[in-house]
Every structure is written in C-alpha cells, then in structure tokens.
Amino acid sequence: IMSVASVQPFLKPVHVDMRVPVSPGRQRRHTLPASEFRCLSPEDAVSVFEIEREAFISVSGECPLYLDEVRHFLTLCPELSLGWFEQGRLVAFIIGSLWDQDRLNMDALTLHKPHGTTVHIHVLAVHRTFRQQGKGSILMWRYLQYLRCLPFVRRAVLMCEDFLVPFYEKSGFKVQGPSEITVGPLTFIEMQYPVRGHAFMRRNSGC
C-alpha cells in the first residue's frame, strides 16, 4: 500500500485525466476520462448513497451518512469531498466536513463548523465491484495530500470500528482512543492524521 512518506508531493486531485497522451498524428476521440478525481456535488448524492448503503448496511446495519445527510454535506462543503470516477462512473468516494473541537462528539455527525481547522472524515467507501484492488488506500492518500493544499486545515480525524484500525494506520492515522460516539450497539475508535507542511506543500505541489 502506498504510504505518504514514499511518494512525491501530490498534484491537485480535481479533474485528473489519466488517459495515455495522444500522439500528434492520432485523432483524439471524445470519450470520458479513464480515471478522474474530483470534488463531489449534490448531484452525485444518489450515486454516493447507493455505494455507501451496500457497503455499510450489509455489514453493520447502519450508514455513516444517509441520503439527506450526504446532500447536506455536499451542499455545505463540497470542497471537503473527493470522488474517484472510472469512465464517468463513481467507484469510490470520501466525504468530510470541518470540526472545531479536540475530539468528536454526536454533533460532529451532522454539523459543519466553517471556522474549524479539523477535517472530520465521515465516510470512505468503494463500490463492491472495485474492492480488494487497493482503491480505498489510494483514494485516502490522494485526499490527505489534497488537504495539504487547504491552508486552514491542521489535521484530519475519523472514527472507525476496531477491525479497520490497521487499514487507517497504514495511511498514517494514529489512534486517539475510544470515541464517545456510539451508534446502536456499535462502538468506535477515534483516529487522527496531522496535516503538516502547508507552505512547503503549496510551493511544491501547484496548490
């Protein structure tokens, strides 16, 4: 799995076209990008929720965000989301919002604090046909590098179930301890990632 320390500074993830360049003598076809990363919009909410519902309800019976909450955050803070599209189809996404306290509480599940310096990552999900391909780790890496381009962001936090802790540790998150948030019978671990080097990253990544 790709680590933050082992790669070059990240170029902006919005509207990245990863098609092979077309040679001068070859006519360009008007097709959708093979792979594109961009911030989400409220128009993406249904696609987001379909992926999320299948990924979470089948496992835990709960969704981190329901459809109206997805629309809520994609309206208030779309710049804190990131979607991965293949041939125009959403295959993975992250949704975040701003938070202004040291630890998460129940209000963090529904509120966006515009003057906060902490990004609360509500959900990371991958479409079922694209799982076990490393896409979740790659998307998280790109998202964390994107946050370095936002001068007001100081750290990212999330909460997850115990079995997901190793996954997020590989992305650079550190355990803060048990979360005070519970959802039905589910309990969570709170984790954080320090977003460092803003000025350096902006100078060297095109931010």
Catalytic residue check, 122: yes
Catalytic residue check, 124: yes
Of 103, 59, 61, 52, nearest in space to 81 by CA: 52
Residue tagged active-site, from 11, 67, 76, 111: 111
C-beta neighbour count of 181 within 10 angstroms: 17
Residue tagged active-site, from 72, 120, 122, 127: 122
End-to-end CA distance of the chain: 25
Question: What is d(CA 23, CA 87) in angstroms, rounded to the nearest whole number?
Answer: 21
Residue tagged active-site, from 143, 146, 168, 193: 168
Catalytic residue check, 3: no
Catalytic residue check, 111: yes
Of 201, 155, 171, nearest in space to 9 by CA: 201
Question: What is d(CA 53, CA 61) in angstroms, rounded to the nearest whole number?
Answer: 9
Residue tagged active-site, from 65, 80, 98, 124: 124
Residue tagged active-site, from 97, 137, 171, 179: 97
Catalytic residue check, 97: yes
- Catalytic residue numbers read 97, 111, 122, 124, 168
